[in-house]
Amino acid sequence: MTPFLIDTHAHLDDERFDADRPEVLDRARAAGVGTILVIATTAATSVRCVELATHYPEQLHATVGIQPNHVAEAEADAWDCVCQLATHPRVVALGETGLDRYWDHTPFAQQEDFFARHLDLARRHKLPVVIHCREAEGDTVRMLRDDYDRHGPVRGVMHSFTGAQATAEQCLAMGLYLSFAGMLTYKNAQNLRDVAARVPLDRLLVETDCPYLAPVPVRGQRNEPAFVVHTATCLANLQQVDLPTLAEHTTHNARTLFGLR
């Protein structure tokens, strides 16, 4: 039997899927990827993700939020739009939110402001947060730690985790999940594989972050949810379990974190 996997981070609203979205979803199902989270990055894509999750209720769930690199360009009513959508029945999490020092699209203080808003909204609606962190590990942990010390644990996942062992440990200590994407399979990612090998099975998630960063052996192609199997296989080897066992754990973890049936 094909193991049942959940792709916890897919940008299926992306125009690169406009021509063949139903086929992409069919291929995912055939590959055992029965559930997919479509992840918003702006107010407009939040609306779009909710529409997709409404259109494909068997397979898709949505998040709503504003990704840090898109905060600066957001319209004045963008945050209100996210707040309103947060209570939509197809929405299972907020984000992606977080901090990013790789790109310079949004002043850092403004990124911090919106990350704090997402954390606050998550608490108010008892929703988990999908956290993006790129070249900002220290700042992300600082803000999460500050929030944790004041309010206690927030439910959440460090998506497409690429951080150091110490960062992984700090996030795990706050009760967060770590999600791994295609980069885990790349030849030059031995450090990341060493980190992934040591994450407890009950805190692991898998994702594609498609259409970006397809895993080996499909690296270079447009990524899609069916390909999460390659990342899951890599993670199973690192954890020294078989793929069905890995899938059982990551799927259970995703259902627990995002409240899926």
Residues making contact with Zn ion (CB under 5 A): 209
* Closest of 242, 239, 238, 160 to residue 205, by C-alpha: 160
Dihedral pair phi/psi, residue 192, rounded to 5°: -65, -40
Tally helices (H) and strands (E) across the chain: 9, 8
In the bound state with Zn ion, the residue whose beta carbon lies nearer, of 37 and 78, is 37
The distance of closest approach from Cβ of residue 70 to Zn ion in the complex, given in angstroms and rounded to an integer, is 11
Distance CA 111, CA 215 (A): 29
**Structural contact between residues 111 and 65, judged by C-beta atoms closer than 8 angstroms:** no
The distance of closest approach from Cβ of residue 95 to Zn ion in the complex, given in angstroms and rounded to an integer, is 9
Residue number, nearest CB to Zn ion: 209
In the bound state with Zn ion, the residue whose beta carbon lies nearer, of 13 and 209, is 209
The distance of closest approach from Cβ of residue 150 to Zn ion in the complex, given in angstroms and rounded to an integer, is 27
Burial 97-116 (b: 16+ CB within 10 A, else e): bbbbbeeeebeeeebbebbe
In the bound state with Zn ion, the residue whose beta carbon lies nearer, of 139 and 209, is 209
**Structural contact between residues 111 and 99, judged by C-beta atoms closer than 8 angstroms:** yes
The distance of closest approach from Cβ of residue 112 to Zn ion in the complex, given in angstroms and rounded to an integer, is 19
In the bound state with Zn ion, the residue whose beta carbon lies nearer, of 7 and 209, is 209
The distance of closest approach from Cβ of residue 54 to Zn ion in the complex, given in angstroms and rounded to an integer, is 21
DSSP assignment letter at 184: G
In the bound state with Zn ion, the residue whose beta carbon lies nearer, of 14 and 248, is 14
